[in-house]
Chain A
């Protein structure tokens, strides 16, 4: 039994190792568009149809027309919704454009180059925005977000001593309309120290991690920092998406990570694939809620 499992795993590993990074990145991108569809009622079916074709028809994933159409549709999506689309909607469109150009000019290195710099710019801008935001640096951002954003509710109750009742009370206070009558001087309860520390730790960790990834991707690949780029991106994906449910963004970062990963170290590809699958579990399993219910 164990030997059979080991044999199957080795076969899977060899299959992953023999994959071309372009092909793997392309198929994962098509897959993420199927797992997390984007666009409105007239864009979404077209994108889904193209992705199905790309995955089912032999060598279709290499087609410049497929990627050209996906670029146009994903760009149309954020153009029509301007400025309401999330940032990963823009990144998705740039990423599809990178596939289009690489397929059109028949040069795989162009995808590697664009993947590297799109990742570097994404993290550079994300960390710069944090660095230049006063309310991020003084901790207010995470204190407020942990209370107001329902997606973090279970996480903060699990990792601090704040209660659901306190969160509800705080929401009533923080979301009030104080345009005519000013708000009371402070929250109706004392924020637990553990909650403050969680916010401070999140503030420091996020800025440090994102800055490190940006620098690692901008640094030459052979440099000490440059060699750290894949592990840093993997740590980011494994840690942040356990808490932040923006899984399609994570999948896209993983596809880019695979595209630029070194062909000589195929084990990195395996780690990226493992991260891709792990994110599915993060997204579908309400782990914080399950732990809270069991305690």
Chain B
């Protein structure tokens, strides 16, 4: 019993390697993880690294007017995470951070007008013949702003 447990433990680094790499494969297919990241050893195989992705956060007010929110340096870490893996967790974390900041900046007066926040992510693709770049929409998620808080 002890010897078979030791045998299993002895393979642990390789087992974890394969588990993380499999997780990378699943996330690239299902949640648009950048092939460069996440432990799948996809570096130097794709132009779709995080820096070639675009993020846009847009606020929508009660009258339906949309305003693009500049994603300044304070959002840098969350922005990088969203660019690398634009899943619900990361999008939600970025949205909450933006909403909290907007609530602080706007105070009591202006914010009730804002009803929701939308985040879009694009990646860049290049044509094989001409290298012409084109942005492909990856994901969009909307967040309703709760004014009771």
Chain A residues with CB under 8 Å of chain B are 78, 82-87, 90-91, 94-95, 97-98, 101, 105, 107, 110, 113-114, 117-118, 121-122, 125-126, 129-130, 133, 135-136, 138-141, 143-145, 148, 173-179, 182-187, 191, 206, 244
Query: Which residues in A have their C-beta under 8 angstroms from that of B54?
Result: 177, 179
Determine if A121 and B18 form an interchain contact, defined as CB atoms under 8 angstroms apart.
yes
The distance in angstroms between the C-alpha atoms of A122 and B20, with both chains bound, is 12
Tell me the minimal C-beta distance from A143 to chain B in angstroms: 6
Tell me the minimal C-beta distance from A64 to chain B in angstroms: 12
Secondary structure dominating the interface of A: helix
Tell me the minimal C-beta distance from A106 to chain B in angstroms: 11
- Number of A-B residue pairs, CB cutoff 8 Å, is 136
30 pairs, CB–CB < 8 Å, chain A vs chain B? A84-B81, A87-B37, A87-B41, A91-B17, A94-B14, A95-B13, A97-B12, A101-B12, A105-B6, A107-B10, A113-B10, A114-B10, A117-B14, A125-B21, A125-B42, A126-B43, A129-B42, A129-B45, A133-B46, A135-B46, A136-B46, A140-B47, A144-B126, A145-B47, A174-B126, A178-B134, A184-B132, A186-B130, A206-B44, A244-B44
The distance in angstroms between the C-alpha atoms of A185 and B131, with both chains bound, is 9
Q: Which residue of chain A has the shortest Cβ distance to B135 in the bound complex?
A: A179
Query: Which residues in B have their C-beta under 8 angstroms from that of A83?
Result: 27, 33-34, 37-38, 81, 84-85
B107 CB within 8 Å of chain A: no
Determine if A141 and B133 form an interchain contact, defined as CB atoms under 8 angstroms apart.
no
Cβ-defined partner of A187 (8 Å) among B16, B40, B125, B130: B130
Determine if B39 and A90 form an interchain contact, defined as CB atoms under 8 angstroms apart.
yes
Determine if A101 and B40 form an interchain contact, defined as CB atoms under 8 angstroms apart.
no
The distance in angstroms between the C-alpha atoms of A184 and B127, with both chains bound, is 12
Which of A91, A94, A105 counts the most chain B CB atoms within 10 A? A94
Q: Which residue of chain B has the shortest Cβ distance to A244 in the bound complex?
A: B44
